[in-house]
Structure 1
Amino acid sequence: MRLLLLLTLVCASSHAFEWQQDKNKQGIEVYQQALGNGLLKLKAITVTEGCLASFESLLFDTQNANKWLSNVEKVTVLKSPSPNEHIVYTQFNAPWPIKNRDMVTYSRIYRTSKSQTQIGIQAAPNVYPKQSNYIRIEHVEASWVINQLSQNKISIEYQAIADPAGKIPLWLGNSVAKSNVFNTFKKMRARLKLYTCN
């Protein structure tokens, strides 16, 4: 009886946190996973032209980050403890009526093989002083996995969960997050063509 109850609870929990497809268009798939606190964990997947080197060049071109990261005003690398570790400060232009946000993150990028790059991102809110007119996002976790499928084709998978902080209704925060992920991937696919493969 206890085993049956345990299996029932596990199955119910597993079902509650399954990925649900939110969007599939323009070569971009967006999935959502409802968490117990009301926030959504998001996943986006695409296959597009490019290579590991071009994606990394896009990522490190922080001066032009606002041209593909949705609602991002500015990205600044504060310091790099090592060639593959970076402390990054990001400012967001949030859509009305949401106040502008900012965040500080620690990221680590590494090649797991000749055909794969992985990036892990986590919040580091206390590394940089809080700025006036911005609400600090203090809880964020994200990851990128980029696979080289052929000479000039890559698959890109992104997962993220973030608490936007402040007084935002959950439905509005989740809606903006899903829109941002899709628009980021759409602009990313177009912008990748500007970076060459070595």
Structure 2
Amino acid sequence: MRGILRMTLLSAALLGACGAAMAEDWQLAKDEDGVKVYLSSVPGSKYKAYRGVVDIKADVASINALQEDVKGSCKWIHACAEMRLLKSEGDNSWTYSKIDMPWPVTGRDVVIHVTTEKTADGGLIRHLQAEPTYIPEEKGEIRVPKLVGEWKLVPKGTGVTEVTYQVQTEPGGSIPSWLANSFVVDAPMNTLKGLRAAAEKR
């Protein structure tokens, strides 16, 4: 569970909006190599929410196990600079991540409360919610103030899982429009491609 937590907060940690229920007008932004990325405007935010969807030739248990590999997960999570588990209590975990930002943009970090839910079909949903005051802010980083999202793993027949990664966030501080526009596509696209490549090698 730790890996998925981190991957969520990592990619999640950058752009989007705030309030999953508020982003419903999803428009296909990119369809590449089996990964589809959708974007949605969110009322009151200048950042778009993103949703990535991909089918992976691996079962839910295998993907879940892969995502629990904390050290290994940072290799395939988009913009991953650092990630660690702060606390775990049953189905609840708190994670900390740092996000790489291109110079001269100040780096971001994020604390996310992850709640894991098992579904009746044998799948998993991990609900993500930023808790920016959970630990003190670190010098040289801008703490992401708002983030909401989820990871959803849905079994789709023998050895196939549909993975959906959705995030809305306010990144804090100032983000150039070119970076915001690219990140909301690159984060789900690259993260899901990386997860699929790692899972299908197993």
The residue type equivalent to 2:75 in the other structure is K
Q: Deviations over 1:13-72 (max 9, x none)?
A: xxx952111000100000000123221011111111111111211222111221111111
Check conservation: 1:116, 1:147, Cα contact below 8 A: yes
Q: Distance in 1 between matches of 2:162 and 2:150?
A: 14
Matches within 5 A, 1:76-87: 76-82=84-90, 84-87=91-94
Are 2:67 and 1:59 aligned? Answer: yes
Check conservation: 2:56, 2:200, Cα contact below 8 A: no
Check conservation: 1:63, 1:74, Cα contact below 8 A: no
Are 2:107 and 1:117 aligned? Answer: no
What is the aligned partner in structure 2 of residue 29 from structure 1?
36
What is the aligned partner in structure 2 of residue 5 from structure 1?
none
Gapped runs of 5+ residues in structure 1?
1-15
What is the aligned partner in structure 1 of residue 76 from structure 2?
68
Structure 1 runs of 4+ aligned residues shifted over 3 Å read none
Task: Name which one, 1 or 2, has greater alpha-carbon Rg.
Answer: 1
Higher RCO, 1 vs 2 (CA within 8 Å, ≥6 residues apart): 2
What is the aligned partner in structure 1 of residue 151 from structure 2?
144
Gapped runs of 5+ residues in structure 2?
1-22
Q: Deviations over 1:136-155 (max 9, x none)?
A: 11100011111111221110
What is the aligned partner in structure 1 of residue 4 from structure 2?
none
What is the aligned partner in structure 1 of residue 134 from structure 2?
127
Out of 98, 102, 111, the residue aligned to residue 104 of structure 1 is 111
Q: Deviations over 1:88-114 (max 9, x none)?
A: 001111123322111000001121124
Shift of 1:116: 1.5
What is the aligned partner in structure 1 of residue 50 from structure 2?
42
The residue type equivalent to 1:46 in the other structure is V
Question: What's the TM-score, normalizing by structure 2?
Answer: 0.83
Check conservation: 1:146, 1:157, Cα contact below 8 A: yes
Q: Distance in 2 between matches of 1:48 and 1:38?
A: 32
Check conservation: 1:38, 1:170, Cα contact below 8 A: no
Q: Distance in 1 between matches of 2:71 and 2:54?
A: 24
The residue type equivalent to 1:153 in the other structure is V
Question: What's the TM-score, normalizing by structure 1?
Answer: 0.84
Fraction of identical pairs, as percent: 26
Q: Distance in 1 between matches of 2:201 and 2:87?
A: 26
Q: Distance in 2 between matches of 1:156 and 1:31?
A: 14
Tell me the secondary structure at the aligned position of residue 150 of structure 1.
coil
Check conservation: 2:78, 2:187, Cα contact below 8 A: yes
What is the aligned partner in structure 2 of residue 188 from structure 1?
195
**How many residue pairs are counted as aligned between the two chains?**
179
